[in-house]
Each structure stands twice: as C-alpha cells, then as structure tokens.
Amino acid sequence: MTLIRTSLLNAIAVGIRLLSMLVLNKILALEIGPSGYGLVGQLQNAITSITAIASAGVGTGVTKYTAEYNSQTATLREIWVTASFLGFIFSLLVATLLIIFRNELSLKLFKTDEYADILIWVAVCLVLYVFNTLLLSIINGLKEIGLFVAANIANSLVALIVTGILARLYELEGALIALAINQSIAFIATIFLIRKKIWFRYDNFVGRPSSATILRLSQYSLMAVATSVLGPLSMIVVRDMLISNAGLSSAGYWEAMTRISNMYLMLITTPLSVYYLPRLSEITDKMELRSELTRGLTLLVPLTITIALIIYFLRDFIIALLFSDTFMPMKDLFFWQLIGDVVRVTAWLFSFYLISKALTKQFLIVEVFVTLTFILLSHQLIHYHDVLGVTMAYAANNLIYLSILVFVVRLSFKRL
C-alpha cells in the first residue's frame, strides 16, 4: 500500500466527511450562530481530552503493534485483550468522575451549570466511544484500508444525521447532546461493518490482560494522551481568554476558522495516520527512513500550500458557503491561520517519526513545551490584537514546534 494509493482511498472518506461537514456547518451557523460555536468548540475539545484518558491512550500503540505482529495470532490477541481491559476500566472511572463533577466542569467550560446534564450524556456513552476508537485502531493496524474508509464514512454520516436533527430541533443544547453521543452511535455502524471478519471474535477481546503488554502500550499511551489532552486543553484555555477579553462571538469566529483548517487538513492528516505510522514503525534501515520522510515532505507540503492559497483567495465565498454573513468578521483570521497550517503539516510528519519509534520522553517534552508556548503567546497577542492574536500565536508556535522536532529527529538519526 503506497502513500499515493492510501491518499486516494482516503480521499473518498475525506470527501464524504467534508460534504457532511459542509452541510453540518451551515446548519449550526444558522441555528446557533458565532456565540454557540464558541461553546460547541469548548465541548468538542473537552470530549477529545476525556476520551483520550478514558481509552488510556492505547489507540496508537494498538495500531503500531497490530501492524508489527500482523501474522502472530497469539500476540495480537494479547494486545487486543489488554487494550480492551484498559479501555473498559478507564472509561468507567472517567465516566464516574464526570457524573460527580459535572456542575464544576460545566461552569469551567460554559461559564454556567445550565449544560451540566450534557456531561452525563458524555459519561453514559463513553465506553462505546472508547471501543469504537479501539476497533478503528485495529482496522488501521491490519491495513484494511477499504474497511477503514467505510467505517470513517459511516462515522461521518452518523455525525451529520444526528447533529443535524438535534441542532434543528433543540438548537444549541441539541448540538451539544449530539457531540456527546455521535461516536457511540458510530460504534454500532462499525460493528455492522466488521461483523463477518475472522478476527472479530469475543475471545480476542475478553481475557486476562498482560502486564508486559501494558508496559509496551504505555509508551504510546503517554504520547497519545499528551497529544489528545494537551492540545485540546490549550484550546479550552485560549478560548476562555478570548471569551473574557473579546467576547463569546470572537471565540466563535476562531472556532469557525479552526473548523475550516480541520476540514481541509483531513486530506493531509488521514494519510499520515493511516499510512505513515504503520510504515515508519516497520522500517529499521536509516536510509529507508530518510527516504520515506523526504517522500512525505515532497508530496504533502506542496499539496498543503496549494490548498491553503486557494482557500485564502476564496475566503469570502467560503465563509458565505459554510457559515453565514454574521461570520464575515473572521475573514481577517485566514492569513496567519493558513500559514500556521502549512508549518503544522510539516511538523506532524516529524512528530509521527517520534511516535513510530517510541521516543516517548522526547515527544512528551516537545508537546508540553509547545502547549505552554501557545498559551503564553496567545495571552500576549490577544491583549494587543484580540482574536487575530490567536492565529498569530498559532503560526508562531507551529514554527517553534517544527524547529524543535527537526532538531530532535536529526539527533535521533545520528544514533541509528
């Protein structure tokens, strides 16, 4: 499976997801407006962090070791049983804490306890959310790209239908409930798609966990949790700064800008996760590793630059198409945001190298550092430039991120 072929196959899923998001963005823009977008962003980032902790962050490790031990049935079962055990225990623990502290969390996220019950929905659905992620990680590791594409298409359609209906009926509260339950419903779709697979058997997921496998998965758990918790947490903090200093609508403009970035970067990041993690994990030769990284840079970076330029020159049309005229003030955010996107894609390529080689300490130090620098840069620039300052901080921070990663990867290559 080559990078180009993987990219083309995933383009199908990404295309359908993009169409779903186009429709969904329009519905949300009309039903909840810029202010509602800010609160939706808060919950979305919170769910990302919560589910990463609830799954014990084992998804990346499951993908790596499933690819590495693809032909060793007993080892695969040990990995999957252990990951299932960790996901079940951690999801129950996190769900309990969510229910107990829902009022306090609601006040922190939404500045009101009015939406505390939304966190109960998250808690109840959490275990299904976690197991859907686990199954997708296994499919990815087995390199069943067609099945992976189908599962992602199903997830996109579920999100569109559920969020569209609930937002239409119950506006902001409906949109928040949909975010809480989408992936749990998607779990049912994933089960339907894999029901006839030979590997999808009860005894492959239930049994005694292996302490040795827990230790191996923990290397990737720390990295996955760092990525899935620190990034969203920094966005929650920065969005809170925006709400306090520039108002809820400004937070909504930034959230809308972030959604545009997420939509087109899916075309880039999906091949990275589907192709590069398994591919870099299996390569041991130094020259082959260098060649694979170079191939990724020459393909993905020019593609990102091209798409970013098109988006920049069509920004007025894109805002009108995806959102509404009330979102037009966000057009000033495009320049720095798109520069930051291009730099970030370049950085991600090197970041995946650290993950694939289990360079846990280096990865965690870099992630913690750039999270703190983003918050600090945002704090300073919001003071002078309001919401524009966040996109300036995003671009500057990604340049710092890339510089550090290149340095760390060069050091790693010297030790091979």
Low-confidence ranges of the chain (pLDDT < 70): 1-11, 270-275, 277-278, 281, 284, 358, 416
Those residues with Cβ within 8 angstroms of residue 313's Cβ, 6 or more apart along the chain or in another chain = none
pLDDT computed for residue 308 by the predictor = 95
Tally of domains in the chain: 1
Structure confidence at residue 277 (pLDDT): 66
Q: Are 358 and 219 in contact (CB under 8 A)?
A: yes
Owning domain of residue 100: 3-415
Output 75-79 pairs: Cβ under 8 A, ≥24 positions apart. Answer: 76/199, 76/204, 77/203, 77/204, 77/207, 78/210, 78/213, 79/213, 79/217
Q: What's residue 300's pLDDT?
A: 84
Nearest alpha-carbon partner for 26 in 320, 276, 416, 285: 320
Which one-letter amino acid corresponds to residue 224?
A: A
pLDDT value of residue 416: 65
Tokens linked to 90:
């951690």
Contacts of 2 (CB under 8 A, 6+ apart): none
Length of the chain: 416
Enter the pTM of the model: 0.81
Between CA 366 and CA 100 the distance in angstroms is: 33
DSSP output for 46-88: HHHHHHHHHTTT-HHHHHHHHHHTTT-HHHHHHHHHHHHHHHH
pLDDT digits (tens, 9 = 90+) for 319-357: 998 888 899 999 999 999 999 999 999 998 888 888 777
**CA–CA distance, 179 with 259 (Å, rounded to integer):** 15
pLDDT the model gives residue 299:
83
